[in-house]
Amino acid sequence: MKISHTWLLVFSIISSFTSCATVWEVQKLRRDIKDANESVAALKENELKALGGETEKGLEDLRTNQADLLMNLEETKAKIMQLQGEIEELGHADEATKKELEAVKDILSSIQDDLKKAQEKPPDEESIYKQGLTAYNSKDYQKAKETFKSIIETFPNGKYIDNAHYWAGECYYSEGNYLAAIDEYGIVIEKYPSSPKRPAALLKAGMAFLELKRKKESKVFFQRVVNEYPKSEQAHMAKRKLAQLK
């Protein structure tokens, strides 16, 4: 159920009271129901952040966000229950109105369940890595870069740490930030000599220097690809680049 649907509750609930309740009661209900729906909307909007949709922060920050959202959710649930009690006291709530209120409560319950599951099992390195690749392939380089950097910060000794540096470099390269890209490629080259991404990092470092019109440095990296990985696909590409630079 999309959050926008919850705004329909305001009108359906209020309409059932206008003929029987006092003007003051109707106005108060209108304000309270509107506030409750706004709280639900805010909770739903922030749910993805707390579940790791924004992963530029470390794991501890992620857990803190989840805990804060759970606290806000409980407060909102209390407001909904209070509102339900006020409606029952008026004695004019029909079955449709009660069902609409239950729908709001169901949304809150769904958010709460998602957050509790997330706290029990925080996002793992592989799932975050896949999110980064998805964002990169969609050309959302900012989101991809933040995702790969979250791996670097949260899993410094993880399985995908070298790949995370490489793809962070690719994000910078795609954005035209060639110096930052070279820094990330350099980390792969120097810190992870057995990484499968190292040949590509050497090649892309050469290409980044070439974009900066620094032909001398680019030749050095292209030659390293040829010397260190002579049978690789990157070596064939590096040879072509070297031939063009003669």
Q: pLDDT for 137-172, tens place per residue?
A: 999 999 999 999 999 998 999 999 999 999 999 999
Q: How many CA atoms lie within 13 A of 113 on its CB side?
A: 6
- Do 93 and 129 fall into the same domain? no
pTM for the model stands at: 0.56
Instruction: Please state, in angstroms and as integers, the Cα–Cα distance from residue 104 to each residue in 16, 68, 110, 190, following that order.
Output: 17, 20, 10, 54
Model pLDDT, residue 9: 47
CATH of the domain at 151: 1.25.40.10
Model confidence over 62-92: pLDDT tens digits?
555 555 655 666 666 666 666 666 656 655 5
Indicate if 89 and 9 belong to the same structural domain: yes
**Host domain of residue 224:** 125-245
In the predicted model, what is the mean pLDDT of residues 105-133? 71
Select the more confidently predicted residue: 140 or 34. Answer: 140
Number of domains in the chain: 2
Q: Which two tokens stand for residue 184?
A: 């990330």
* Mean pLDDT, the chain, integer: 75
Same-domain pairing of 231 and 153: yes
Q: Is the dihedral of CA 80, 81, 85, 91 positive or negative?
A: positive
State the sign of the Cα–Cα–Cα–Cα dihedral 162, 168, 173, 174: positive
* Closest by CA position to 181, among listed 218, 216, 208, 163: 208
Banded pLDDT at 33 (limits 50, 70, 90): low
